[in-house]
Chains A and B, each alone.
Chain A
Amino acid sequence: MGEPKPHPLRVLVVEDEALIALELECLLDDLGYVIVGIAGSSQEAIALGRETHPDVALVDIHLVDGPTGVAVAEALSADPRTTVVFMTANAKRIPEDFAGAVGVIAKPYSERVVAGALRYVAACRAGHVGSLDGLDGFCLAARHAERMHH
């Protein structure tokens, strides 16, 4: 957690539950990431995505305007600069193609799993092979898991 990062990942949090968003913000800050914004609705999320081009977007499925997280993931992952990770207690809502997301962090999450998932994403973005050892609460999208094995 303490390793120095020349360019810390810039993270967009898409979460309508203020308490969860706030705590997540503190956690990400502790882990050395930069939060570019917090969005509670799909419009806000997509607008913030266009504005900030985040490296990573953590996306809940249920937002203020309904189960619109899937559409948000589709829109955000259309930008090749952004890696989308779902973060939800409702993984059954995720479509088979994961709407462009690389995986899902199950809620309720432990801070360790969030840290591990982000470490994995950072490694992949840097062209390394990330490790998923002991990360029970983080599942990869099928096509992404396949790529790992090649």
Chain B
Amino acid sequence: MIARARPLEGTIDPGVTFAAAFEGSPTPMVLVDARRSDHPIVWANVAFLTLTGYDWDDVAGRNCRLLQGPMTDPETVARISAAIAAGACFEAELVNYRKDGSWFWNGLTLSPVRDANGVVTHYYSAQADMTGKHKLEAAMTHANADLGRRVAEQTADLRAALEQKTALLHEVDHRVKNNLQVISSLMLLKARRTPEGEARNALNGMADRIGALSTVHRMLYSAGDVTRFDFREFADDFVGDLVAGIDGERMAVNASIDSMAVSAAMAAPLALMLHELATNAVRHAFPGDRPGRVSIKARRCDGALRMVVEDDGIGLSAGPPNPSGFGRSLVEMVVRQLRGTLTWSETAPGTRVEISVPLDAVSLSDGPADPADKAS
């Protein structure tokens, strides 16, 4: 396994040249005699003496173990000894000590030097101060652990904040629902104790409106998405309430509402609007025993909610001017608030109300586009 050394080019003395080259090398180097007992140091360059802080006289004839100390890993030392005994090459990093007692990480390579017969005569070793690298590694490990700890802390903080937020949301939701229930109960109680007539009707009407807002609130928070709710779900529930309160033989309510997401901000005004329009039609379009039908249509079209409420009742002008007054101005206010447009028309017989309300960004985001949108 001995690689034949190439002869030097030219007429120079290899011994002198190599000695001069190694002597001047910035790499610390040392040579020990493998034939003498305890492998004494027979040569070391200036770089070695600089690294270890010893003078040549200090190390000459000594074994390299003089560099070892309390923090030197005995296992690494044992492996070095084994490699030398076997005449093998070896690489290791271990803690060594300078003359002044300070320590450094020594990255060393060992290789045997053989004579012409292949017998190991010397051992050659080159060193490098690896303290900087080890410090960097230790700093990195420390920094990583620190970073990991901080990430874990922040994650825990965020999780706690989220839990707190969820608990708070539930609490507020619970309180709002309970308060709406109390307000509604208060109205209904007062209505029950008010003699039949305008005042009682007004109280029942307010209880109905609170009921519509309550339904919106219930649906907003039950679906898991607190930012949007489905307008059709609300309309179905509302129409169910409306139909339950009328004479089904005489009046029919027909609702055709597309499923569409509506933002929380728009939910309450839209619910009030639908409530007023439908309730007005049912209450005032068919006085006496007049039979009829009410039709409610709503769809999403070009980023807007289009709603048409029609009845075949007595028409706006024929009815007494007062009763629908509040409901009608409520609708106008709400449509203005939503920046929509509103058209009332007499259809003889009956009334037709057409409303177009632009949907906001929250309503439109990720919502399933309706076929009309896709076609355009």
- Chain A residues in 8 Å Cβ range of B244: 112, 134
Contact B217 A136 (CB under 8 A): no
Compute how far the CA of A27 lies from the CA of B185 in the bound complex, rounded to whole angstroms: 10
A22, A23, A90, A111: which has the most chain B beta carbons within 10 Å?
Answer: A23
- Chain B residues in 8 Å Cβ range of A110: 211, 214-215, 241
Contact A22 B185 (CB under 8 A): yes
Binds B, one of A44-52, A73-81, A101-109: A101-109
**Distance in Å from the Cβ of B163 to the closest Cβ of chain A?**
14
Please tell me if A65 contacts chain B, counting CB pairs below 8 Å: no
Interface footprint category on A:
20 to 34
**Distance in Å from the Cβ of B173 to the closest Cβ of chain A?**
8
Contact with B along A117-150 (1 / 0, CB 8 A): 0000000000000000010110000000000000
Contact with A along B177-193 (1 / 0, CB 8 A): 11011101110110010
- Chain B residues in 8 Å Cβ range of A90: 170, 174, 177
Question: Which of A19, A134, A137 is the one whose CB lies under 8 Å from B185?
Answer: A19
Contact with A along B142-183 (1 / 0, CB 8 A): 000000000000000000000000000010011001101110
Using CB atoms, name the residue of chain B closest to A29: B192
Contact B184 A108 (CB under 8 A): yes
Contact with B along A61-104 (1 / 0, CB 8 A): 01000000000000000000000000001101000000000000
Contact B240 A134 (CB under 8 A): yes
- Chain A residues in 8 Å Cβ range of B182: 17, 19-20
Please tell me if B218 contacts chain A, counting CB pairs below 8 Å: yes
- Chain A residues in 8 Å Cβ range of B214: 108, 110
**Distance in Å from the Cβ of B177 to the closest Cβ of chain A?**
3
**Distance in Å from the Cβ of B186 to the closest Cβ of chain A?**
6
- Chain A residues in 8 Å Cβ range of B210: 108
Compute how far the CA of A110 lies from the CA of B218 in the bound complex, rounded to whole angstroms: 11
Please tell me if B237 contacts chain A, counting CB pairs below 8 Å: yes
**Distance in Å from the Cβ of A149 to the closest Cβ of chain B?**
22
Please tell me if B322 contacts chain A, counting CB pairs below 8 Å: no
A27, A62, A137: which has the most chain B beta carbons within 10 Å?
Answer: A137
**Distance in Å from the Cβ of A88 to the closest Cβ of chain B?**
9
Contact A26 B181 (CB under 8 A): no
**Distance in Å from the Cβ of B282 to the closest Cβ of chain A?**
15
Please tell me if A36 contacts chain B, counting CB pairs below 8 Å: no
Please tell me if B343 contacts chain A, counting CB pairs below 8 Å: no
- Chain B residues in 8 Å Cβ range of A107: 177-178, 180-181
Compute how far the CA of A92 lies from the CA of B170 in the bound complex, rounded to whole angstroms: 8
Compute how far the CA of A90 lies from the CA of B236 in the bound complex, rounded to whole angstroms: 23
Compute how far the CA of A36 lies from the CA of B219 in the bound complex, rounded to whole angstroms: 33
Question: Which of A22, A108, A134 is the one whose CB lies under 8 Å from B177?
Answer: A108
Please tell me if B117 contacts chain A, counting CB pairs below 8 Å: no
Compute how far the CA of A20 lies from the CA of B177 in the bound complex, rounded to whole angstroms: 12
Contact B237 A136 (CB under 8 A): yes
Please tell me if A24 contacts chain B, counting CB pairs below 8 Å: yes
Known pairs A19-B182, A110-B241, A112-B244; A89 contacts B174 (CB<8 A): yes
Compute how far the CA of A112 lies from the CA of B243 in the bound complex, rounded to whole angstroms: 10
Contact with A along B240-258 (1 / 0, CB 8 A): 1100110000000000000
A62, A108, A112: which has the most chain B beta carbons within 10 Å?
Answer: A108
Additional A-B contacts beyond A112-B245, A136-B237 (9; CB < 8 A): A24-B185, A26-B188, A62-B174, A90-B170, A106-B222, A108-B177, A108-B184, A111-B188, A136-B233
Q: Sample 17 A-B pairs with CB under 8 A, ordered by A number.
A: A20-B181, A20-B182, A22-B189, A23-B189, A26-B192, A27-B188, A89-B177, A108-B184, A108-B211, A108-B214, A108-B218, A109-B181, A111-B188, A112-B241, A112-B245, A134-B237, A136-B233
Instruction: Enumerate the 8 nearest inter-chain pairs by beta-carbon distance, A residue then B residue, closest first.
Output: A89-B177, A23-B185, A108-B214, A134-B240, A108-B181, A108-B180, A107-B181, A90-B174
